[in-house]
């Protein structure tokens, strides 16, 4: 159905989509010679009002990443919506013949999160996009734009909305007409990241896979709770925790020290790495979010100092986990040595993972699938040379042997040597 009463103003350039009662046309606005998208629906069609609601929705969004609405017309026979024609290549087209880098993947994903964040923070209440798929993500030179808001709804009206969406892209609760909130778009963005990862040189990156699995969790309760949380996860992957400046980026590197089992010396090695780096003139901070290790050090060490939430002792700098009744201090800028205990999920978001293992026969040691990733270093502590060689063969991975510690508080030469070996390939760490 091509509308007839538009010919005085528009030249039809291309019919993008056409049914008996609807049409989406690429038109030339004769007055200024600009391309526009014109959507027309017959007034008798059940979706006739959707054009008006789409226009209303788009008006409340403060983002340059969504198309501009130019006009809405309502005649006896037809409803029209004229909006900006978003030029560029769709993500699907782009990835047909391009393998993207991890950096580009994360950049696109963050940009997509930005536009969804704008929708969720729109004037008049959150808008649920509901139609995330590669065809709707348009790549322009330095930006990512989103098109087609035909099935978007206000969150407040989501309960009444029809269960529309694209199979394999829409969240399961959306297709089953279940309870809908912002998390349906988290699912959508997660699917896009998954799609990009398959066409990238980061196909096996376990950190991205983990984020995707958290974002596309079938059970809504277990899914990432908001688009901002997903965006933060992406920023963490980008190594961009403090500020978006290259000057501080390298300084906010996170090195996770995680145990493959209990009692393998994870905390001791994490503390020693921190001391070693500070001794070499780098600002390194020990962090343990779950236990009060730094408070215990305060209790047991003499000659400690406290300033701005950090405990100083010789070459050790540890972040104190003050409770809620103490003023919050800005996290320092520097290298973070994160003692993750045996929490693999906490370790996963770090730039480098040092996994500590033991080879004692009574220890139950479990290795994650990502153990073979090159950003994961395996260190055997309290282990014999033979046991370490066996482990290396079994895992097909280099195993570093941590030397036995002396009782004195100082780092031994052997300890310093092994820590230096572990970190020698880190381009941001110069000794």
Containing H/E element for 402?
none
In angstroms, rounded to a whole number, what is the distance separating the alpha carbons of residues 354 and 374? 11
> Could you say which residues in the range 263-292 bind another protein, by CB under 8 A?
292
Residue among 46, 281, 303, 361 that touches another protein (CB under 8 A): 303
DSSP string, 50-112: HHHHHHHHHHT---TTSPPEEEEEE-SSEEEEEEE---SEEHHHHHHS-PBPHHHHHHHHHHH
In angstroms, rounded to a whole number, what is the distance separating the alpha carbons of residues 199 and 196? 5
304: contact with another protein by CB under 8 A? yes
Residue among 245, 246, 300, 424 that touches another protein (CB under 8 A): 300
Residues sharing a CB contact under 8 Å with residue 8, sequence separation 6 or more, in sequence order: none
Choose the stretch contacting another protein; rule: CB under 8 A; options: 22-30, 44-52, 315-323, 359-367. Answer: 315-323
305: contact with another protein by CB under 8 A? yes
- Among the listed residues 173, 123, 115, 187, the one whose alpha carbon sits nearest the alpha carbon of residue 149: 115
CA distances from 202 to 100, 195, 240, 354 (A): 8, 12, 18, 21
CB 295 to another protein: min, Å = 5
First-to-last C-alpha distance (Å) of the chain = 71
Closer Cβ to another protein, 168 or 302, answer by number: 302
> Could you say which residues in the range 323-342 bind another protein, by CB under 8 A?
323-327
Closer Cβ to another protein, 295 or 397, answer by number: 295
CB 305 to another protein: min, Å = 5
CB 44 to another protein: min, Å = 56
- Among the listed residues 61, 63, 69, 9, the one whose alpha carbon sits nearest the alpha carbon of residue 39: 69
Choose the stretch contacting another protein; rule: CB under 8 A; options: 22-30, 95-103, 204-212, 295-303. Answer: 295-303
CB 327 to another protein: min, Å = 5
CB 238 to another protein: min, Å = 32
Closer Cβ to another protein, 218 or 308, answer by number: 308
CB 218 to another protein: min, Å = 33
302: contact with another protein by CB under 8 A? yes
In angstroms, rounded to a whole number, what is the distance separating the alpha carbons of residues 121 and 117? 6
Closer Cβ to another protein, 322 or 431, answer by number: 322
Residue ranges that bind another protein, judged by CB under 8 A: 292, 295, 298-300, 302-309, 312, 321-327
């Amino acid at each position: 159905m091509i509308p007839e009463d538009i010919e005085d103003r528009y030249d039809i350039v291309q019919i993008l989509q056409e049914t008996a009662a609807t049409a989406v046309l690429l038109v030339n606005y004769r007055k200024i010679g600009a391309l526009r998208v014109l959507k027309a629906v017959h007034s008798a069609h059940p979706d006739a009002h959707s054009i008006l609601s789409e226009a209303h929705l788009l008006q409340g969004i403060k983002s340059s990443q969504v198309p501009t609405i130019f006009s809405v017309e309502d005649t006896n026979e037809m409803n029209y919506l004229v909006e900006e024609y978003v030029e560029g290549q769709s993500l699907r087209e782009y990835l047909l013949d391009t393998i993207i880098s991890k950096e580009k993947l994360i950049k696109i994903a963050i940009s997509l999160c930005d536009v969804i964040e704008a929708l969720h923070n729109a004037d008049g209440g959150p808008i649920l996009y509901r139609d995330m798929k590669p065809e709707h993500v348009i790549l322009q030179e330095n930006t990512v734009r989103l098109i087609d808001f035909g099935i978007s709804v206000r969150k407040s009206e989501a309960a009444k909305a029809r269960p529309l969406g694209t199979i394999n892209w829409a969240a399961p609760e959306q297709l089953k007409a279940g309870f809908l909130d912002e998390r349906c778009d988290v699912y959508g963005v997660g699917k896009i990241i998954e799609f990009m990862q398959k066409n990238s040189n980061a196909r096996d990156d376990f950190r991205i896979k983990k984020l995707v699995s958290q974002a596309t969790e079938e059970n809504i309760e277990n899914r990432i709770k908001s688009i901002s949380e997903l965006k933060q996860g992406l920023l963490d992957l980008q190594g961009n925790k403090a500020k978006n400046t290259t000057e501080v980026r390298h300084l906010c590197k996170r090195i996770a020290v995680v145990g493959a089992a209990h009692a393998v010396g994870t905390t001791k090695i994490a503390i020693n790495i921190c001391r070693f780096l500070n001794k070499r003139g780098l600002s390194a901070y020990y962090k343990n979010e779950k236990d009060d290790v730094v408070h215990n050090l305060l209790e047991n060490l003499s000659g400690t100092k406290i300033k701005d939430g950090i405990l100083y002792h010789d070459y050790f700098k540890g972040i104190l986990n003050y409770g809620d009744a103490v003023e919050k201090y800005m996290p320092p800028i520097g290298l973070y040595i994160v003692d993750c205990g045996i929490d693999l999920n906490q370790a996963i978001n770090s730039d480098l993972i040092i996994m500590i293992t033991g080879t004692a026969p009574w220890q139950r040691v479990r290795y994650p699938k990502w153990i073979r990733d090159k950003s994961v270093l395996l260190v055997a502590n309290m282990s014999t040379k033979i046991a370490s060689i066996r482990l290396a063969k079994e895992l097909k991975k280099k195993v570093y042997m941590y030397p036995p510690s002396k009782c004195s508080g100082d780092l031994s030469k052997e300890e310093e040597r092994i820590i230096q070996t572990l970190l020698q390939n880190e381009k941001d760490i110069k000794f």
